[in-house]
Chain A
Amino acid sequence: MQWLCILLPRFALEAAAGPAGGAHSESGTRSALATLALWALQWSSQVSERAGSDDAQCIAAAHGAALWLEIGASRALFGDHAALRARLAAELGPLGYEFRLGSAPTPQGATILARAGLAGGALTRAQLLRQLAPLPLGLLSLPDEQLAALHAAGLRRIGELLPLPAAAIARRFGPAASLYLQRLRGAAREPQHCVRPPARFTSRCEFPDAIGDATALLFPLQRLLAGLQGYLRSLDRAVQRYTLCLEHHRAAATRLAIGLARPGRDAVQFLALARERLAATALAAPVHGLRVEADELLQPLILQDDLFACATQQAGQLQHSLDRLAARLGRDAVRTLDRSADHRPERAWRLCAARLTAQPGALPAPPPVAQAPDRPCWLLPEPRRIDMPRELLAGPERIESGWWDGADIARDYYLARGEHGAQLWVYNDLRSGAWCLHGLWA
């Protein structure tokens, strides 16, 4: 086992920071840490928000918040300590969190090294003991009275305390202190309370002062979406949409569904879409809280690279364009068209959702279109009543259909000449005798 401690010395302040600033609540800090724990799940399947006894937890809190990750198993995946550290820094920096790292075979050891700022880490217990030896006792997670007692006994450095027999320490300073020191050295195992990814993702933050400007929501939203990304990566899942909930005081929350053209799990992409969407949304009321929800977890779409690198890149670019269009203009703003097997011209087509279902890249030759009468490029949204055309160029083509669903038609279609040589697709309704314009040979 190799544990990484991410110590966040200014977490309570930073969690409340951002545009709202000011006061912060304990529950707010807790939910921010829970979001960050979900974010950390992408690096390790064992992430813990607390280590040691309740006592140790209380003392640890005085040093700031912390997360513990088991990284021994994931080293092959993310590279050595320095590489992992660089990746963590690249992600935590933009989220606005200051952090220190410590790495050791025991969680308590990693904690002390993080507090001491010894980022190099210890890979073995022997290395850990060597690194702990010169450190002052004040870094230990022990209650003040016990630290005072150790000081009174003439002890100053951790290295002077660790070689003492466990039984003697238990007798003089209590069994809790003895157990803590054994866990620190790795002589006793420590039970872990690991974070389990929930079945559906939900993450929330609240603002002490309401936010009236949508752009000010982006920074706190970025943190929630980082949690979503870590959550999805840890489960090897993706989402095609997520819900952004803007909570108002004494008013129903505004729910914005943010959709993607293809399943994705990239926080940067999630945020870009939310930015477009918020830019197009007028806030109904000041926002007191922000919540991100996602429940339809999908298989991530991993396109093969190398052979299809070009096509993959193209699909990615198209997906980003489609997502941006949908985020700004609305989910139904981008559609694709298809034919529909119906003789009635107004029903011979349908709208479909624009999805990247087709394999990108060149298509095989299109299937031959069944022999059908020619049709005009433009169809009017509704047939328009006209006077009887003066010049009919071709026709009629009789279309009688639809008796089964009550929308039956009986028409004779003609090609007619309009002004300036326009070619019109008109019909004569066989029941009413009326003439209508239905399309243009554009």
Chain B
Amino acid sequence: MTGQALRPTREELRARLAQVGRSAQATEPARPVALATGFAALDAVLPGGGWPVGAITELMPETQGIGELSLLMPALAQLGRAGRYLAWIAPPCLPYPPALAQHGLALERLLLVQARDARAVLWAIEQTLRCPAIGAVLAWPASLDDRRVRRLQLAAEAGGSCGLFYRSPAAAQEASPAALRLRLRSAGGRLQVEIQKARGGHTHAVAVHPAAAVCA
């Protein structure tokens, strides 16, 4: 055999490279792109089938006390069982431990972070989003502009966590680079979830029945 015959052609090299690339992708464990919400009706209409992982979700409840936290509980409980931590950054009220335990949350995996002012809150959100041990960051940021959301979006991507931000209903009027934006309101004892924006999906409205007030 001559040296000429041994030398692969450019096309052969390309084919081999593509093969190597494919096998590398096959061995790398796929990172989940979404976290099941625990509500089949909601999973069915969310792109990826759940809360987007490594991205920001904005939740805009019409008022407090309509099941806006209970909506997240099955997913948060799931994260805790998988060994990840939950960060609650400056919540407006006390996340009540007896209720959280009833929802199956691992209380020892819950981090409650208090911050003095809006700037410290944003800093804490970014820090916790970047930490791979923290699976979800719940936050109530006072004001958010495009640039800030984009920055937090990058932090969530880096840490592979779910950024779950509660915002006022007025925020629905503004555009936002968040991956998922939901408007929440109460309708006949059920929580009406309206998908205002979903990256890679369509807008929808579904009703779920989070176990917020079982006796309602």
Q: Do A and B come from one complex?
A: yes
On whether the beta carbons of B94 and A318 are closer than 8 Å, the reply is no
With A317-B133, A377-B69 in contact, is A351–B127 under 8 Å at CB?
A: no
On whether the beta carbons of A317 and B131 are closer than 8 Å, the reply is yes
Closest to B114 in A: A333
- Residue A440 interfacial (CB < 8 Å): yes
On whether the beta carbons of A377 and B106 are closer than 8 Å, the reply is no
With A442-B64, A442-B66 in contact, is A334–B113 under 8 Å at CB?
A: yes
On whether the beta carbons of B215 and A415 are closer than 8 Å, the reply is yes
A359: shortest Cβ distance to chain B, in Å? 9
Closest to A418 in B: B65
On whether the beta carbons of B107 and A324 are closer than 8 Å, the reply is no
B121: shortest Cβ distance to chain A, in Å? 10
With A378-B65, A439-B96 in contact, is A372–B102 under 8 Å at CB?
A: yes
Give the complex CA separation of A324 and B128 in angstroms.
10
- Residue B214 interfacial (CB < 8 Å): yes
Which of A318, A360, A365 is the most central at the interface, judged by chain B CB atoms within 10 Å of its CB? Answer: A318
- Residue B110 interfacial (CB < 8 Å): yes
**Per-residue 0/1 for A317-358: is the Cβ within 8 Å of any B Cβ (1 yes, 0 no)?**
110111011001100111111111000000011110010011
On whether the beta carbons of B215 and A394 are closer than 8 Å, the reply is yes
Give the complex CA separation of A324 and B214 in angstroms.
40
Give the complex CA separation of A380 and B185 in angstroms.
21
Interchain CB contact (< 8 A) of A362 among B82, B85, B127 = B82
Which of A339, A380, A415, A442 is the most central at the interface, judged by chain B CB atoms within 10 Å of its CB? Answer: A442
B23: shortest Cβ distance to chain A, in Å? 23
- Residue B31 interfacial (CB < 8 Å): no
Interchain CB contact (< 8 A) of B107 among A338, A357, A439 = A338
- Residue B201 interfacial (CB < 8 Å): no
Interface residues of A, CB < 8 Å — how many? 58
The interface residues of chain A lying within 8 Å CB-to-CB of B93 are 378-381, 439-440, 442
The interface residues of chain B lying within 8 Å CB-to-CB of A311 are 83
The interface residues of chain B lying within 8 Å CB-to-CB of A349 are 94, 96-98
- Residue A243 interfacial (CB < 8 Å): no
The interface residues of chain A lying within 8 Å CB-to-CB of B134 are 318, 321
A322: shortest Cβ distance to chain B, in Å? 8
A37: shortest Cβ distance to chain B, in Å? 37
Closest to B64 in A: A440
A346: shortest Cβ distance to chain B, in Å? 9
Which of B69, B82, B103, B187 is the most central at the interface, judged by chain A CB atoms within 10 Å of its CB? Answer: B69
- Residue B118 interfacial (CB < 8 Å): no
Stretch in A7-15, A222-230, A420-428 touching the partner? A420-428
Give the complex CA separation of A351 and B107 in angstroms.
11
Interchain CB contact (< 8 A) of B112 among A336, A360, A372 = A336
**Per-residue 0/1 for B59-75: is the Cβ within 8 Å of any A Cβ (1 yes, 0 no)?**
00011111111100100
- Residue B142 interfacial (CB < 8 Å): no
The interface residues of chain A lying within 8 Å CB-to-CB of B36 are none
On whether the beta carbons of A363 and B81 are closer than 8 Å, the reply is yes
A439: shortest Cβ distance to chain B, in Å? 7
- Residue A124 interfacial (CB < 8 Å): no
Which of B101, B103, B120 is the most central at the interface, judged by chain A CB atoms within 10 Å of its CB? Answer: B101
On whether the beta carbons of A423 and B96 are closer than 8 Å, the reply is no
The interface residues of chain A lying within 8 Å CB-to-CB of B189 are 421
The interface residues of chain B lying within 8 Å CB-to-CB of A420 are 62-63, 66, 185-186
On whether the beta carbons of A377 and B70 are closer than 8 Å, the reply is yes
Closest to B68 in A: A442
Closest to B92 in A: A378
On whether the beta carbons of A361 and B96 are closer than 8 Å, the reply is no
- Residue B136 interfacial (CB < 8 Å): no
The interface residues of chain A lying within 8 Å CB-to-CB of B187 are 421
With A349-B96, A366-B104, A420-B185 in contact, is A329–B114 under 8 Å at CB?
A: yes
With A317-B132, A349-B97 in contact, is A358–B109 under 8 Å at CB?
A: yes
The interface residues of chain A lying within 8 Å CB-to-CB of B68 are 442
Give the complex CA separation of A393 and B132 in angstroms.
42
- Residue B18 interfacial (CB < 8 Å): no
On whether the beta carbons of B215 and A393 are closer than 8 Å, the reply is yes
- Residue A419 interfacial (CB < 8 Å): yes
- Residue A299 interfacial (CB < 8 Å): no
On whether the beta carbons of A337 and B110 are closer than 8 Å, the reply is yes
Closest to A376 in B: B99
Chain B interface (Cβ < 8 Å from any Cβ of A): 62-70, 73, 80-83, 85, 92-104, 106-116, 120, 123-124, 127-128, 130-134, 185-187, 189, 212-216
Task: Sort A-B residue pairs by CB-CB distance and give the 5 closest, nearest first.
Answer: A421-B186, A440-B65, A422-B65, A318-B133, A321-B131
What are 18 A-B contacts defined by CB distance under 8 Å? A318-B131, A322-B111, A333-B113, A335-B112, A335-B114, A337-B97, A366-B104, A366-B106, A375-B102, A376-B212, A377-B69, A377-B73, A393-B215, A394-B215, A419-B63, A420-B186, A440-B93, A442-B70
